[in-house]
Structure formats: structure tokens, C-alpha cells
Structure 1
Amino acid sequence: MIRDADSKGLKFEALADELRRGIRAGTWTAGEKLPTEQQLTDETGYSLTTVRRAFDDLVAEGVVVRRQGAGSFVAHVRPREERVRRRIGVLLPDTQLYYPRVLQGIDESLSAAGATLQLVTYRYDWTKEDAAIESLLDAGVDGLLLSPTMTEIDDPRGRAEELMRLPVPVVMVERSLMDAGPRDRTEHVCSDHRGGAYDAVQHLAALGHERIALLMRERTPTGPAILSGYRHAIQELGLAAGLEYALPKSAWEADSAQGAFEQLRALEATAALVFGDREATLLQGAIRRGGLTVPGDIALVSYDDEVADLAEVPLSAVAPPKYRIGRMAADVLLRRLIEGDDCPLHQIRLRPRIVIRRSCGATAPE
């Protein structure tokens, strides 16, 4: 729908600009027929001469082509200014386990658009983030895809607002503010980790478990959202509460999850959601050494699905859509660069799925 042009400039220029922005935004794609001159005259109230002059401008730019007897169509060759090769800066905590698929999605989206990628990592050390971002800005990037530290800091909202004030457009990847409400003006694409944890508990409850524990590593970026989703499910489903246990990563590895297993037994849990795959695999070994079986005595669902299928008993797992997150975040940033303030604010959460394997006791779909 073409909106009314304002009073600035000539009417045909305003209409041409509106049509041009619609083409850039994808309202009409390459090769697609545009509204006829008469349709635009009826819709906008402009004269046929004004509409025709707007089309003449777009044809002269190479944005639109006329076909005798058929109408006007979006040109397959993009206008010159849209062929600029953009450079996109990407900040990730690391490039291990979780992030390669995210990075693959980013890279494929940018490559398809003719944009280049410049990557820096901060190795989960928040004190290095600003310097890393500054290096990307100094390199002349046109926009930023950032996965910054948003938990375990004093002022997450202030940090987010600071990032949104950077001199180039910013889209956060797998990061967002917790419970910020309508004040949240960040642009982000991330997994719905609360939804993923909720679904895992619901799945285990549907298998008959009433005492479902949550076993986690301390101080993880996604931990608060997983904990929130777990607690919501426990309360809503009327399950036993207070079965939560968190240990530092080093403690999980130091005794091969023996302490986590003992805690699981003390809680009298028959099932557990475990963050992440490595911890769940270690826990499997501790359960076996304790003379119990998975899933016969204790059902397990891990969170992440990076190496869950390689466990002794393949782990059912919550699988965040990592590749899709990366691809969609890059698409959002590119659209922002093309449309500017005309682009609506994107705040996207993609819900993980549960991959059913042997560890939870359910039958995997064929």
C-alpha cells in the first residue's frame, strides 16, 4: 500500500521515492509487476501525469522496466547504490561448539547478498568486548552483529542501550534483555531458551515424571532463561519444586559429575534436564557407575544438542536453531542497512525443538 506523500518536494518525486523504498524493502521483488498507473492514481489521488513522471524517473534509474502492453516491472538488475559491497562486523564469544552453526548462517546470508564478514571473538571475557567492537568500527564496518555479555553484569539494560547507540546499526545475536518489556528497543534475533526449557519439562512430565531436576553449569549466558522456563513449567504443571542444582564447570569435570549424581539421588528425581551435552554425558557415566541405568532409572534430556548423539546412551536434547538464528540475524541487519528508519524494529525469538533419542525413554519418531 502506497502511503500519502508529504508536502516536501514535487509530488512525482515523493511517489517515486515511495515506490523505490517499497522495492528495496521487498514489497515488490525482481521481475514482479507493479501496480498500474491507473491503480496508483486511484490509490494516491495523484494525477495520471504525476504517476507517469514517477515511473519515468524509476525507469531512467534502471529500477523499473516497462514492457509494451504488459505494464511496469521491477528490474532484475538492482540500482547502482544497492550493489555496494557492505562489510559486516561480527562479535562472538568464541567459535567453538555452539557458534560454528550460527556463524555459518551469518556467512551464507552475507555471501548471498554480496557482503563480507569480519569476525572477532572475546573468549567470554567481557572486559575485552569494547576493544573488539572498536576494532571492527575502525575497520569501517557498515553494521554489527553482536553476541555480547548480557548476564552476570551490573546493568544489562544500560549495556544494551550503549550498544544500540553505536554509530552503525546493531543486531544482537543470541542475546536479549530478560523481562525488559516494552522499554526494550534492542534489535535482536535469539533462541527462546525459556520456551525450550519449558518444552523439555513438559515432555518429561508427559512420560510420567513428577520429580524433574534441573542440573546446570553456573554463570552461563543462557542459564537465566533456562531456569525461568524450567520454573514456569514446574509451577504450571504442578510438579515437585526445588529440584535445582548448579555447579561450576570445573566441578562437573573434577569428579566426572559424581557430585551431580549424588545430588540427583538426594533430590529423589526420576528425570533431569541437564545443561549442556557434556555435563549430561558425564552424568550418564556417574549414573552407570552408581549401578543405575538411563533411561530405566533416570531419564535425561540435555540442552544444546551439540554432541548429544555421541553419548553412550544417545541423549534426547533441546536443539536451539543455531543456523537459522545466524542467517535471520544477518538478514535483519542487511534489511536495516537498506531501509534505514523505514525498517520496523525486529525482536525475534525462535523456539528450539526437542530431538528425541534413547535417554528420555520415549520412542523417537520414524
Structure 2
Amino acid sequence: MREPVGLRRKRILAVVHARGAVKVSSLAAELDVSAVTLRRDVEELARTGMLRRGHGVVRPMGDAVPVTAVPAARSGQPAGDEAPVALVVPERHSYLHETLHGARTALEEAGRRITLHIAPQAAGAERPQVERALAAGVSGLLIAPRWRSSAGEEADHGWLAEVGVPTVLMERRPRPGSVLHALDSVCSDHWYGIHLAVDHLVSLGHRRIVLAARNDSPTARSIRAAFADIAAARPEVEDWAVVLSSPDAGPGGPGTPEEVPDIAALLRERGMTGAVLHGDEEALMLVQRMTENGIRVPQDCSVVAYDDVVAALGSTALTAVAPPRTEIGRTAAQLLMHRLAQPPGTTGPVRRTELLPRLEVRGSTQVLHRPAK
């Protein structure tokens, strides 16, 4: 059976990090792959900042370099328009995949070279990736930190504010008044997205609405805060609640202290007929659970998903709020290129751009039919 490319490259990295400098020819023989295949893998791993490539030798990236001590370019490294732009995103994050695609497309259309850095699912994982990118001499940085908790976000503020190259946050909006408040950012207006969801349900006659949402990202925290704000302010909403969507959706993963209720029991006990569910995968699973417990969607409960990554693929296609994920990446890349085009030493006003989501109405919502008195 042919070995998957990803697994082969992991083996290459493991050997290089264990041995230090390794001859390419020796590495090919040891891993039992052709020299042509190995050179192709090495070139790609070097391009993405995972290792260094020399004359017939491959080396690990080396020890981390303090962010504030790394200049944007060094002797022998590309500078100015020739220097690549670093993209730093978390691994296995389907929501940000389209954002990454939008940024990459805009940069490639402008003739900018890119180095992609994938941050593992661990606290503080973005910093080493940024340090590697800076050590390689990138000219600018587009980054979407995972920030599972507010504390994790605060821990990144100090070093990220002093990166030393033009930086734009994608789909992240730092806390007002924080050290990152004055950093360029492009983000979805999640308050407006929740407004669309609640307004849609209210317009269909629903007066008791629950939000079952994740709580392990800046997007999730914005959604939860917006729902509480909007539901409390709408006089039509008679009852509302915010609950966790699944046991692994909290900032601490499984075992989170926040209660995860039985969604079907909650709907019945409080007479709720509308639900906003974040994110898509949780939404599809919750709808399955509701169906298994005799709650029909949309006849008994109208559902609006939030994210619209896979919401349309359920047995009942879910009405969903769709943030402009691709445009977030494209706009962030354009903002970064604007910064890079400015003469050295010049600054302009910080830009905090918000793009509005849209509502995709499908088969999971309908007018509430109240029983005749």
C-alpha cells in the first residue's frame, strides 16, 4: 500500500529532529523512498518552515528565537517584496479552512509568496510557529490564533504585539483596551449574525429560544454574549437560555464545569420552540438527538445553525448563519499588502474591519403553528 504523503513527511521530520543535520541521500535510503520523492518532500517542508535545506543536507529549524529579537530580514534572506508572507492557523479547524483559502488566493493573485504554518492543538502553540516564520525572514504575518479561553488569549497579547512585522488578525477581535486593541484585524460581525438568527425565529412566531453553543473560541464567546444581549432586549422573547452544545465544546475540553443539558428535555420543560445551534457539527448531532427523542425539526422546533460549513448536508438541511469566511481571509490579505506597500517608517490608522454574515434559509425553520384555544 502506498504510504500517505502526510505520514511520510512526519517520518522525515522525526528523523531530522532526532539527528540534526542529515544527508538527503542517506535519508532517502533510511526511509526507503526514492531520492526524487524525498527531495520533493524536503522542498515542501522547507517552504512551510518545518525544516532547513542546504547543499545535499537537511536540518531542523533549530531552537526557538525570541520574537522581539528577530528582524524582518537577514543577510542572505529575501527582503521587501521578495520576502514571503506567513500564514499561521490552527490545525483541524474546518471553520477557518475557507478563511485560509481566501487569504492564500489573494496573496497568490498579487504575486506574494506564502509560508503556511499549522499550530497544533495546544496552549501557546502559535508562538513557536511565528518565531520560525520570523527567523526565515518573512515580511508580514496573517494569523488566526485558536484562543480556546480568555486566559489563553491574554497570554498571547504581549509577544504578539511586538512581532516587528506588519500583522493582521483574521476572524479574531481582541478585547477592547487590551494591548492588541490597536492591531489590524478583519472579523465577522457575530452580533449581527445572531441578530439575523433571533430575528428570523421571532418573525416566525417563536417566543422561547435556546442557544446551544460552543465556548472554546473567540467566535463562540462572541456568539454567546450577543445572544444574551439580543434575547434580553427583544420584548417578543418570553424565555431564553444559553447552554453548552457538547461535553467537549468548553475551553477545558471534556469534563468542563459548565453543564451540558439534555437538549430534548430542556425544550420540553421550558416549552421552547426555537433553537440556535453553534457550530455546524454540534447542530447536526443535536438535531439527530432531538429526532430520536420525538422532537421533530421543524414541526416541533425550528433550528438555525451557526457557521454554515456543513449545515446544508443534514437529512433536514439546516437554516444557517453564514459568516463570510473566504472574504475574511481575502480582506485580511489585502489589508496586509496595503501595510507592506507603505514606505518604511510610515504608519496609517489601525483598521478594524467587520464583515456581515448572511442568513441561508432552508428546511429547518417554519412558522410556529399554535394550537387552537
TM exceeding 0.5: yes
Cα displacement string for residues 166-206 of structure 1 (whole angstroms, at most 9, x for unaligned residues): 11111001111234499821110011112211221111111
Match of 1:346 in 2: 351
Number of residue pairs aligned between Structure 1 and Structure 2: 279
Q: Which residue of structure 1 aligns with residue 219 of structure 2?
A: 222
Q: CA 1:180–1:235 in 2, change beyond 3 Å: closer, same or farther? A: farther
- Taking a change above 3 Å as real, the CA distance of residues 150 and 96 of structure 1, as seen in their structure-2 partners, is closer
Q: Which residue of 2 aligns with 1:45?
A: none
1:272 correspondence with 2:270? no
Distance 1:117 1:293 in 2: 48
For residues 290-331 of structure 1, what are the alpha-carbon distances to aligned partners after superposition, in whole Å with 9 as ceiling and x for unaligned? 222111110000010011111111000010101000000000
**Is the counterpart of residue 147 in structure 1 residue 147 in structure 2?**
no
C-alpha contact (below 8 Å) 1:87/1:117 kept by paired residues: yes
Unaligned stretches of 5+ in structure 1? Answer: 1-81
- Residue matched to 1:320: 323
TM-score (norm 2): 0.69
Query: In the alignment, which residue of structure 2 is the partner of 1:78?
Result: none
Give yes or no for contact 1:202–1:233 (8 Å, CA) kept in 2: no
Report the alpha carbon displacement of residue 345 of structure 1 after superposing the two structures with TM: 1.5
When Rg is computed on C-alpha atoms for both structures, the one with the higher figure is 1
Relative to its length, the structure with more helix (as a share) is 1
Give runs of aligned pairs for residues 101-140 of structure 1, distance below 5 A: 101-140=98-137
SS of the aligned residue for 1:91 comes to strand
What runs of 5+ residues in structure 2 fail to find an aligned partner? 1-78, 255-259, 368-373
Partner secondary structure for residue 358 of structure 1: coil
Output the CA distance in 1 between the equivalents of 2:291 and 2:274. 15
CA shift for structure 1 position 155 = 7.2
Distance 1:155 1:122, change over 3 A: closer
Determine the C-alpha separation between the residues in 1 that align with 2:84 and 2:205.
52
1:86 positional shift? 3.5
SS of 2:94's equivalent in the other structure is coil
TM-score (norm 1): 0.70
Pair 1:358 & 2:363 matched: yes
> CA 1:155 to 1:174, structure 2 compared with 1: closer, same or farther past 3 Å?
same
Offset from partner CA, 1:229-282 (integer Å, 9 cap, x none): 111211221223451111444489x9xx98222233233211000001111111
1:101-129, CA deviations, whole angstroms, 9 ceiling, x for partnerless residues? Answer: 11111111111111011111223322222
> Residue in 1 aligned with 2:162?
165
The answer as to whether partners of 1:88 and 1:145 remain within 8 angstroms in 2 is: yes
Q: Partners of 1:248 and 1:218 in 2: how far apart?
A: 10
In 1, Cα distance between equivalents of 2:227 and 2:239: 10
RMSD: 2.7
